[in-house]
Structure 1
C-alpha cells in the first residue's frame, strides 16, 4: 500500500516563533559543511551551514545542536515574559555547551541535584542565580549546596525542614504548593506539593524552627492544556503569602514553575500563558516581589535535530493473502532507540515524526513530493519494547539511508542509557544566530559520576 505524502512538516522553522535573525559569523566544524542541507533542516531564514554527513564511514546517530535556537528562545522569553527571570531546568538538557551559552546570557538555573549544582557553579555562575528546586534532597547534596553558597531551596514537608535546619542553616525556603494539574500531560502533584489547606501548618513549623521563608513555588505540570491553571495557582500562592504575613514572615519570591511548551503542537503557546500570568500577577500581587520561572523544554526542545542511520530493513510480507496485523509494508531498524535518546517516547510523551533525509545516497530536498509507504521504526537493541514508532509514512528506504527527527533537545540525551553497550548519540554544534560556540572542553571542575562517588567516599 502506497500513498502520496502531502505534508510539508519537514521544516523546523514552521513550528518555531518568528524571531529576527542576524547573519552569523563564519565558524569551523569538525565535519564537512554544505549550506543547502542546513537550509533544508533548520529553515531558510537562518544564514548558516549544516554539518554534513558526507564523506565518512560512521553510521552512528548524531545530533545537530543549533545554539542559536536557544539564544532566540531566551530572547523570545524575555519579550513575552518581561520581569519574570528564567531559571533553566538543568535536568532537561545538561549539555555543557548549552549550559555555558545560558550562563553567558545571564539567566538563572533550576538545579535538582548536587551534580547539577556543580555543573552550573563550574561555569562561573553565582550561587544566587541557582535555586535548588527539588523538594526532597539527600543530606550529602544539602551539604554540598551549603559549601558552595547555594541558599534558595524548595520544600513541601516537615522532614525536609529538619534536614535543612541542620545542613543548610542559612537557607532561604520556598514552599511548594499543590496545584490543579489535571489538565496537564505530565502532572507532578501526585509526588510533590503541599495541599493549600496544610500549608499554614507547615509554615507554622518553619517559624518554630527559625527557617527563613523566602516565598512560594508551584508547577502546573508539563504540557498544560488549560492556561487558566496558572491563574488558580497564582491565587493559591497569594493566600499562602497572606498567611505567612500574618505570622510575621515577609516573603518576596514567587516561582511559577516550568512545563512551558517546546513547540506549538503541545497545545498552548507562551503568549497565551503570558496573558493569563500577567493578569493574575496584577490582580493578586503587589509590586516589589521577585518572580521567576523554570523553563526547560521551551528553551531547548527545538534546538536539536537527531539524525539516525538505517542499519537494517525488513519487508513485511502477506501470508496466505492475509495482511499482517501491523499493517505496515516495511520495518526499519535505526542506530538509536528508546533505551537511548528516544527514551522521551516513554518518559516524556514525545511523538516521533520521522523525516527521510537521505535515500540511496541522495539528499531529499522535498519529502512532500515522494511516494510513501506505511512503516514501523525500531531501535538497535534486542528488546521488542525498543520501538520508536509503530506506524509512520516514509518513502522506501534502504540500509545506509538516514532519517531525521526534529524537536529532540528536551529530555533525550539527559536520560539516555548505554544499554546493550550502545553509544549515546554524539552532538555536533552550530549557531544560526550569533555563530558563537562556547569553549567548554577544558573545564577542570566539570563533574562526573566517578568524581561524585569519590567525593562521597571521602
Structure 2
C-alpha cells in the first residue's frame, strides 16, 4: 500500500466534494498502517463493528470522530460503542431504535433510506433501508424515546457508476426533511454513504461528476445541514498492489492457466461477488513482448478459485515469476481467510 496515494485520493475526494466531511469506511481496509495514514490526514471514520472501533482506538481515534452506520447491531455492540465515546448510530427499524435507546440513551440516530443500487458493479443494496414514510416514522419515534433525531443516510451501491443516483436519493432526503419540519424536527446531518468508484481495468466516472451531482441535490434541500460521506474504495483501492508468485503454469483444453499463491479466498473475493464484472489490472514481472492469454487462478482445490480470465501475460511465464495485481487496496485483505491452509496476504505500507 502506498501511503502517498492514499493521501492523494483523500485530497481528491475533498476537492470533488468541498461541502462534504468524509468518514472513511473502515471495513474497506482495516490494516492499522492504512488507518494510521488516514488518521494523520485528519480523516474521520465510519464503522460497522466494535472491533473496528477497537482498532481505531489503538491509533488514537476518538469515539466522537466515529459514526456507526451498520443499521442493525447486537445490543452489546451498541453498548460497547457508546462506552467508547461513539454517539451517532444508524437505524432502519423500530427494534433497532429501541435497542439504541436502551443501550445508548440520549444518542443521535440517523435513519437509513433504501436505494436501488442497480448501477453498481458490486451488489451491496437490498438488505437495509426504509422508504420515506418509514424514515419519518423512525425519526419521530426517536424523539419520543429520548434520542436525538439527527440525520438521514443512504447508499447508492458499491463501485457505483451513475452519479445521478445521488441526486435521486437526495430527492427522497428532501422529502424527509420537509415533512419532519411539520413534526417540529429539523435534522442536523445528511450522510451520502459510500459506493464512489475506483479505477480498475476500465474507465469510471470521475469523482468530480459525483461531487457535482451531490452539490446539485444538496442545494435543493429545504434548510442547511452538515453533509457527511463514507468513501472507502475510492480512497484505498488504487494505492494497493498484490505481489504474488506463479506456482505453476499449465496448458489444458480450456487454455493456458497461471496458478498463483493468491486466490479468491485469500484476497480476491470481490471477483465472485461481482460475477466477474470487477476486473483487476494484471501484469507480470517478466514483461516479454510475446504475449499469451492466461486464466489466472488461486492455489486452492476449489473450482471457483479463479480471479481472472483471458489476461494477456508474457508467453514464457513460468514458475517463480511474479504477477502484480493493481487496484488491490480495497475489499481484499479484509476478506482473506486461511481456506485450505493457505496464508493470508501480508500488508506493507510504503
CA distance in 2, matches of 1:283, 1:222: 25
Picking from 395, 400, 407, the partner of 2:320 is 400
For residue 79 of structure 1, report the CA deviation from its aligned partner.
Answer: 1.4
> Which residue of 1 is the match for residue 181 of structure 2?
245
CA distance in 1, matches of 2:122, 2:278: 11
For residue 195 of structure 1, report the CA deviation from its aligned partner.
Answer: 1.1
SS of the residue aligned with 1:394? strand
SS of the residue aligned with 2:55? helix
Deviates more, 1:103-112 or 1:236-245: 236-245
> Which residue of 2 is the match for residue 86 of structure 1?
22
> Which residue of 2 is the match for residue 69 of structure 1?
5
Provide the TM-score with structure 1 as the length reference.
0.73
CA distance in 2, matches of 1:200, 1:312: 58
> Which residue of 2 is the match for residue 169 of structure 1?
105
Picking from 339, 343, 347, the partner of 1:423 is 343
> Which residue of 2 is the match for residue 213 of structure 1?
149
CA distance in 2, matches of 1:278, 1:87: 18
Report if aligned partners of 2:97, 2:138 keep a CA contact under 8 Å in 1: no
> Which residue of 1 is the match for residue 140 of structure 2?
204
Picking from 344, 347, 352, the partner of 2:280 is 352
Picking from 313, 336, 339, the partner of 2:262 is 336
For residue 212 of structure 1, report the CA deviation from its aligned partner.
Answer: 1.0
CA distance in 1, matches of 2:104, 2:333: 31
- Give CA deviations for 1:1-54 in whole Å, capped at 9, x if unaligned: xxxxxxxxxxxxxxxxxxxxxxxxxxxxxxxxxxxxxxxxxxxxxxxxxxxxxx
Distance verdict in 2 for CA 1:278–1:110, change over 3 Å: same
CA distance in 2, matches of 1:266, 1:237: 30
Greater RCO (Cα-Cα under 8 Å, separation 6 or more): 1
Provide the TM-score with structure 2 as the length reference.
0.94
> Which residue of 2 is the match for residue 185 of structure 1?
121
For residue 374 of structure 1, report the CA deviation from its aligned partner.
Answer: 2.0
For residue 171 of structure 1, report the CA deviation from its aligned partner.
Answer: 1.2
CA distance in 1, matches of 2:133, 2:220: 22
Picking from 95, 99, 104, the partner of 2:31 is 95
For residue 311 of structure 1, report the CA deviation from its aligned partner.
Answer: 0.8
For residue 284 of structure 1, report the CA deviation from its aligned partner.
Answer: 2.0
CA distance in 2, matches of 1:80, 1:352: 25
Report if aligned partners of 1:223, 1:266 keep a CA contact under 8 Å in 2: no
| Moved beyond 4 Å, runs of 4+ | none
Please state if 1:145 is matched with 2:81: yes
SS of the residue aligned with 1:154? strand
Report if aligned partners of 2:88, 2:110 keep a CA contact under 8 Å in 1: yes
CA distance in 2, matches of 1:188, 1:381: 26
Correspondence 1:120-135 to 2 at 5 A:
120-135=56-71
Report if aligned partners of 1:303, 1:408 keep a CA contact under 8 Å in 2: yes
> Which residue of 1 is the match for residue 330 of structure 2?
410
Picking from 277, 299, 305, the partner of 1:380 is 299
CA distance in 2, matches of 1:75, 1:386: 36
For the pair shown, which has the larger CA radius of gyration, 1 or 2? 1
SS of the residue aligned with 1:205? helix
Report if aligned partners of 1:223, 1:267 keep a CA contact under 8 Å in 2: no
> Which residue of 2 is the match for residue 45 of structure 1?
none
CA distance in 1, matches of 2:116, 2:106: 32
- Give CA deviations for 1:364-411 in whole Å, capped at 9, x if unaligned: 3xx6xx111122111111112211223222122111111111100000
For residue 266 of structure 1, report the CA deviation from its aligned partner.
Answer: 5.5
> Which residue of 2 is the match for residue 390 of structure 1?
309
CA distance in 1, matches of 2:250, 2:122: 35
Report if aligned partners of 1:306, 1:406 keep a CA contact under 8 Å in 2: yes
For residue 245 of structure 1, report the CA deviation from its aligned partner.
Answer: 2.0
Report if aligned partners of 1:93, 1:414 keep a CA contact under 8 Å in 2: yes
How many aligned positions are there? 346
For residue 285 of structure 1, report the CA deviation from its aligned partner.
Answer: 4.5
Report if aligned partners of 2:237, 2:329 keep a CA contact under 8 Å in 1: yes
For residue 181 of structure 1, report the CA deviation from its aligned partner.
Answer: 2.1
Report if aligned partners of 2:178, 2:222 keep a CA contact under 8 Å in 1: no
> Which residue of 2 is the match for residue 228 of structure 1?
164
Distance verdict in 2 for CA 1:210–1:429, change over 3 Å: closer
> Which residue of 2 is the match for residue 269 of structure 1?
206
Please state if 1:301 is matched with 2:237: yes
CA distance in 2, matches of 1:292, 1:402: 41
For residue 228 of structure 1, report the CA deviation from its aligned partner.
Answer: 1.4
Report if aligned partners of 2:174, 2:220 keep a CA contact under 8 Å in 1: no
